[in-house]
Structure 1
Amino acid sequence: MNVRFTLDGMARVSQEHLDARRRQILDGAARCFARNGFHATSMQDVLKEVDLSAGAVYRYFSGKDELIAAIAAEVLGEVRAAFGEVTRQSPPPPLDELVGSVLGRMLGIWSSLTVDGQPGFPRLIMQVWAEVARNEELAAITRNGYEALQAGWVQVVREYQESGVMRPDIPAEHVTRTVIATVQGFIAQQSLFGPAPVEVLQDGLRALMSMSDTRTAS
């Protein structure tokens, strides 16, 4: 343990140690939640997973709801960071590349979270979405994260439209909701039907982007 001593001889745990312990608890809780769901996971399950005493865990989190909220906030923060990094390019990369880059980064960050040898991140996300319906704090965190992500996507879509690579007569907000829904659906499929590489989603988007409207005006 990394400790320092104050002038009166009292030991003080370093911030590095505190951060590492908090990380240990969050990672262990995420494994439990992805494996068994929020409602079937007790704090005793989390204590056993992280091999810590109740006092050690409750020093950081007051209970299961606070753990859930912390994990959800972290995931949304990582999504915004990944999206922000990609969209700092001007002009932004093509839609299929942008989506693949952000989603691939997220899956990479959480690659150590596995359940029965399969990626656990999609299952964890599904648990978060289900919990939103009953947990007002989690609903607020998710809504704020979604609104921030939505605003970023609207800006990107407008850049596509202004540069002529996307038709300008469709509201940017409509395109944004569709893109986000596509990513959410891909994550849900991974949770329900098993993992698939991000390239599958990119190929599908690329094919849809290649379509042309062959209808003629009457």
Structure 2
Amino acid sequence: MARVSQEHLDARRRQILDGAARCFALNGFHATSMQDILREAGLSAGAVYRYFGSKEELIAAIAGEAFAEIRAAFDAAAGSVPPPTPDVLLGRVLRRMLEERVLGVDRGSFARLVVQVWTETLRNEQLAAVLDEGYSGLRVSWAGLVDAYRDSGLMAADVPADHVARTLIATAQGFIVQQALFGDVEVGVLEDGLRGLMSMQQPKIS
């Protein structure tokens, strides 16, 4: 019997995950059946169950990939030297997440999928633990970015670094929610808005 290559196994797993992601993005986790996923992936039940024993395992795998993609986007943007300003930084994060095809879905579908993953963490302790670990790591990483801003003379030291990091993360999260709810949200809008806020100055008191 011919041995199946690892490349083939990886491609088949990718085919299943991408098909499931398209179904979940369209109909949500709980309104999607395994039969829906089989049809979308174009595979038999035996082929799918060889990789994933249940729909819950598929949800966990997709959630893990979504979390990893978000973390990678943040880390890549934060790793530049010198550090980019927040408007450029968040623009890079969101372009990577929304304008590159992730999990075999378009930008709107990916945003909806991410929001569903966040919602699922409210009822799934395993996913909640993964999200908490990822979020904590992001806060530490981006607090380090704030230190780089300060070392470069771009930011004052009168606000805790973690508070700035959480605000940057919340801004990106809010933009993803806007894309999921309203669609067709251009990343340039966020960049312009942040640039405008960054230009504000305290009025001089005569």
* Category of TM-score, reference length = shorter chain: over 0.9
Instruction: Find the partner of 2:11 among 12, 20, 24.
Output: 20
Structure 1 partner of 2:37: 46
The secondary structure found in structure 2 opposite 1:169 is coil
Alpha-carbon distance in structure 1 between the residues aligned to 2:69 and 2:177:
19
1:27-176 paired onto structure 2 within 5 Å: 27-110=18-101, 113-114=105-106, 119-176=108-165
For residues 130-154 of structure 1, what are the alpha-carbon distances to aligned partners after superposition, in whole Å with 9 as ceiling and x for unaligned?
A: 1111011111111111111111111
Larger radius of gyration: 1
Distance 1:169 1:61 in 2: 50
Q: Cα RMSD (Å) of the superposition?
A: 1.6
One-letter identity of the residue aligned with 2:127: L
SS in 1 for 2:43: coil
Is the contact between residue 82 and residue 105 of structure 1 (CA under 8 Å) also seen in structure 2? yes
Structure 2 portions without partners, runs of 5+:
none
SS in 1 for 2:156: coil
> What SS class does the counterpart of residue 61 from structure 1 fall into?
coil
The alignment status of 1:200 with 2:189, answered yes or no, reads: yes
Give the letter aligned to residue 187 of structure 1. I
In structure 2, distance between residues paired with 1:176 and 1:41: 36
Q: Is the CA contact 1:96–1:206 (under 8 Å) kept in the aligned structure 2?
A: yes
The residue that corresponds to 2:199 in the other structure is 210
CA distance in 1, matches of 2:10, 2:179: 31
Q: What stretches of structure 1 move > 6 A for 4+ residues in a row?
A: none
Q: 1:215 to 1:134 in 2, by over 3 A?
A: farther
CA distance in 2, matches of 1:104, 1:77: 16
Higher strand share goes to which structure?
1
Return the offset for 1:215.
Answer: 7.3
TM-score using structure 2 length? 0.93
TM-score normalised by length of structure 1: 0.88
**Partners in 2 of 1:180 and 1:40 — Cα distance?**
30
SS in 2 for 1:12: coil
Distance in 2, matches of 1:134 and 1:128, equals 10
